[in-house]
A and B are shown apart, each in its own frame.
Chain A
Amino acid sequence: MDDSKGCHLSVVIDLSPAQWHLSAAAPPTNLHPLPLNSFLAQLLAFLNAHIASKHENTLAVFGAFPGKSMMLYASTDPATELQAIDANSYPPFKLVDSTIVTRIMEEFDDLGEPAEEAPTSLVSALTKALCYVNRVSIPTSSTSNKPTEDHDPNVLPDPRILVLSVSPDLSTSYIPIMNAIFSAQKLAYQKVTIDVCQIYGPDSVFLQQAAHLTGGSYIFLERRDALLQYLIMSFLSPPLIRKTLSVPTQDKIDFRAACFCHKNIVDIGFVCSICLSIFCQPVPVCSTCRQDQVPYEDTPEIECLSADASLC
């Protein structure tokens, strides 16, 4: 079990103010309330645990805000200013903690109070995370052999992405999520494992599929008061350790797809025989590839598919 190169973890945090407000609601409606500040405290402990494990471990954190996504922290980017250090904490931990909390608070202040909250850009954050992993895994000549303090940019073994979601599925994001999954499977240098923790809200169909298809782990958090323990037991170990000490996996996965026409999640869909687009009802002309479809009654070409045999 040689892990001398350390491993990379990208974390995507769903920061929808409305959903976090619901998550913090008092017990009668919500059995295990988890307000955002308590969530952040536990998350930071988890991130520190990741950095603690190995000097070479790298970390990037992405935030998904309503209608906007951004990188909150990356260990590859050197700190802009020298922060004060104190004798009771390990400087890298302090840097991570303060950077992330400050950036999140800044963003929330910028949000103001819009009349209607835009849906969170979870997919956009996920895509940024993938781009980031791809960017730092490509050896570049500009980052010469000079070793930097915390990390060697030429190696990025075992990259993982952990998605912490609180929002229900957004059916419009079906296609982008699928594209993200395929990119994760086929990333240039190494495939990426996507882990998912659904902290609040209903099971996420799409994220379940993302975890399943990339060999990651999907957890629906039942006891939200034990978030940190869940995170550590299931998502801290790199793939190498998971061969010895297992992590929870799903026993059943919801493989349903969303139709391309109305973005509804469908149990039974109709698939274009040319480009494999999915529709919730028979259509004469495929809206994706513009191919005329022979009317449904006459042809078996637009096939009726059960949910489990869909795109994957």
Chain B
Amino acid sequence: MASSSIRAPGTADATPPTALVHPLIPFLQQQSQNTLTRLYQLPSSCLSIYRLLAPLERQLVMSLLWLESAIPAATMAAWVVRDGKQLRPPHEWLYDGALDTLARLHILPNAAAKLALNPTFKTSFRQAITGSGTSGSFGVPAEVDEKRPPLTVEGLDGYALERWETILHYMVSSGTGQSPTKPSTGVLYLLQRSGLMVSLRGGPLQITSEGFQFLLHSPHDQLWALLLQYLHLAETRQMDLVEVLSFLFMLSTMQLGREYSADHLGVSQKAMLEDLRDYGLIWQRKPSSHRFSPTRLSTTLTSSSPPLPTTTTNSSGPAEGFIVLETNYRIYAYTDNPLQTAVLNLFVSLKYRFPNLVVGSITRDSVKKALNNGISADQNPLLPVTVQDQIRLWELERNRLKSADGYLYTSFTSQADYELVLNYARELGVVLWESPAKRCFFGTQEGHANIRGFIERRTTGGMA
């Protein structure tokens, strides 16, 4: 579903934008029907995928879930609100989009005439809702071990946060000469493969412009972006994609603070334990342990709530940080989080640091540095207009030069020849630059074949 194209300013509160499609949905849509059907055999996967759908799609699935037979498409379409006044019926448009998404996920095949859910999906999802079935897809709990109780929720949160911030901190300080704790090689490989970091001529890893943009996203988007890369990687590593996906979905339905048994996992899933431990998605007492606990990062995979508590330190101040930006480009950030400070350092030149406050200012140099890192001016939302305009001007300043591939035509024998060819090229609209004094011009690559043909015809014609 796409949002309406033009919206008047100030209407944002009245009509929130169309829900963004979850990044995993397009990935699932690319999978074969066979893969999806195998995935739909597991109730926990059905439940998780259902949660990733847009609200309207969820309602459609639920409406059809308890029907035994297919219903005519027109029956369902009759429920769509019709708004006669509008030129393009927005609700029907939304409805068609929702049906299309479900069809491409093979949840609702053959949406043209009759509507009925994919039988596998229907059976499994019913089992998920009623808590029946024997698939064990919600995770087999581990036997309670009296001697070694599971880690507390606070402990899990701290562990997940430490893991995750290690990754981000490593990325953010890769260019600054500091040497923060290195994440594991598996994480480094994933960062490199996903193009977030790159190793120049075998040197240490450097953050790329994609990496900088990645840092500005919400933790939730970051997590899914990495997991998507992981899924792509899994395909090349000959891992069973269904097992990988269903394990992620299983984690997302597990209960925080519980221990689960690893004995019932598939081969690929056991291989995943190590990777997910590195990302902070699961906790294990020791690598060889036969039990694992999901952290908040994994149990909130299918939700939009913030996956992690925002601060590691035991400060008494508010966990939420505030940023004040004045129209004189000064910026005050109330934070004591080194990661947030490091992110700010990407586009602000920092002046002072206090225990809970960082003061800096946005300058031409700092913005240029950020632009060089690949952050664009459009990525900074909700700034004062003066600041926004100035940043835009600075960005334009950087974009003074434009490069284009093409050919330089020179050494014309006479002014007449030169003008003849130039006029021809002008008619084609392929002239980028011309200099009558030097009797040369520069044409685009696309126009070269025509111009060369023209000159050759002229030359041979002149000789004849």
A288 within 8 Å of B by Cβ? no
Cα–Cα, bound, A238→B309 (Å): 29
B302 within 8 Å of A by Cβ? yes
Cα–Cα, bound, A146→B309 (Å): 7
A236 within 8 Å of B by Cβ? yes
Name the residue on B nearest A48 (C-beta): B129
Of A31-39, A64-72, A83-91, A110-118, the one with at least 4 CB within 8 A of chain B:
A83-91
| Residue among B129, B153, B310 with most chain A CB within 10 A | B129
List 7 tightest A-B contacts by C-beta distance, closest first.
Answer: A55-B303, A89-B131, A2-B16, A87-B136, A4-B304, A87-B140, A244-B91
Cα–Cα, bound, A165→B185 (Å): 61
23 A-B interface contacts by CB (under 8 A): A49-B129, A53-B55, A53-B62, A55-B51, A55-B305, A85-B255, A85-B258, A87-B137, A87-B140, A87-B264, A88-B131, A88-B137, A89-B132, A90-B47, A145-B318, A145-B319, A147-B306, A147-B309, A238-B55, A241-B56, A245-B59, A245-B91, A246-B80
Q: Is the interface of B mostly helix, strand, loop or mixed?
A: loop
**Chain B residues near A1 (CB-CB < 8 A):** 1, 16, 18-19, 54-56, 94
Cα–Cα, bound, A89→B132 (Å): 7
Count of chain A residues near B, Cβ 8 A: 41
Q: Would B58 and A53 count as touching, CB distance under 8 A? A: yes
Cα–Cα, bound, A165→B200 (Å): 70
Q: Would A240 and B305 count as touching, CB distance under 8 A? A: no
Given A1-B19, A232-B66, residue A97 in contact with residue B255 (CB < 8 A): no
Q: Mark A1-38, 1 if CB is under 8 A from B, else 0.
A: 11110000000000000000000000000000000000
**Chain B residues near A149 (CB-CB < 8 A):** 153, 256, 299
| Residue among A55, A232, A245 with most chain B CB within 10 A | A245
B166 to chain A, nearest CB (A): 21
Q: How many residue pairs bridge A and B at CB < 8 Å?
A: 137
Given A85-B258, A244-B81, residue A93 in contact with residue B129 (CB < 8 A): yes
Q: Would A52 and B50 count as touching, CB distance under 8 A? A: yes
Binding site for A on B (CB under 8 A): 1, 16-19, 43-44, 47, 50-51, 54-56, 58-60, 62-63, 65-67, 79-81, 91, 94-95, 127-141, 153, 253-256, 258, 264, 299-300, 302-306, 309-310, 318-320
Cα–Cα, bound, A237→B98 (Å): 15
A233 within 8 Å of B by Cβ? yes
A152 within 8 Å of B by Cβ? yes
Binding site for B on A (CB under 8 A): 1-4, 45, 48-49, 52-56, 84-91, 93-94, 97, 145-147, 149, 152, 228-229, 232-233, 236-238, 240-241, 243-246
Given contacts A87-B137, A88-B131, 18 further A-B contacts (CB under 8 A): A1-B1, A2-B19, A3-B19, A45-B129, A45-B130, A48-B131, A49-B62, A56-B304, A86-B138, A86-B141, A87-B140, A228-B66, A232-B63, A232-B66, A233-B63, A233-B79, A243-B91, A246-B81
Cα–Cα, bound, A55→B141 (Å): 21
Interface residue from B134, B253, B300, B310 paired with A90 (Cβ < 8 Å): B253
Q: Would A93 and B55 count as touching, CB distance under 8 A? A: no
**Chain B residues near A152 (CB-CB < 8 A):** 305
Cα–Cα, bound, A243→B51 (Å): 20
Q: Would B304 and A244 count as touching, CB distance under 8 A? A: no
Given A2-B17, A3-B55, A87-B141, residue A55 in contact with residue B300 (CB < 8 A): yes
**Chain A residues near B94 (CB-CB < 8 A):** 1, 244
Cα–Cα, bound, A102→B382 (Å): 51
**Chain A residues near B132 (CB-CB < 8 A):** 88-89
**Chain A residues near B16 (CB-CB < 8 A):** 1-2
Cα–Cα, bound, A87→B320 (Å): 37
B95 to chain A, nearest CB (A): 7
**Chain B residues near A90 (CB-CB < 8 A):** 44, 47, 128, 131, 138, 253
**Chain B residues near A91 (CB-CB < 8 A):** 138, 253-255
A4 to chain B, nearest CB (A): 4
B438 to chain A, nearest CB (A): 59
Cα–Cα, bound, A240→B91 (Å): 12
Cα–Cα, bound, A246→B94 (Å): 13
Cα–Cα, bound, A145→B133 (Å): 38
Interface residue from B62, B129, B254, B303 paired with A54 (Cβ < 8 Å): B303
A230 to chain B, nearest CB (A): 10
Cα–Cα, bound, A4→B20 (Å): 10
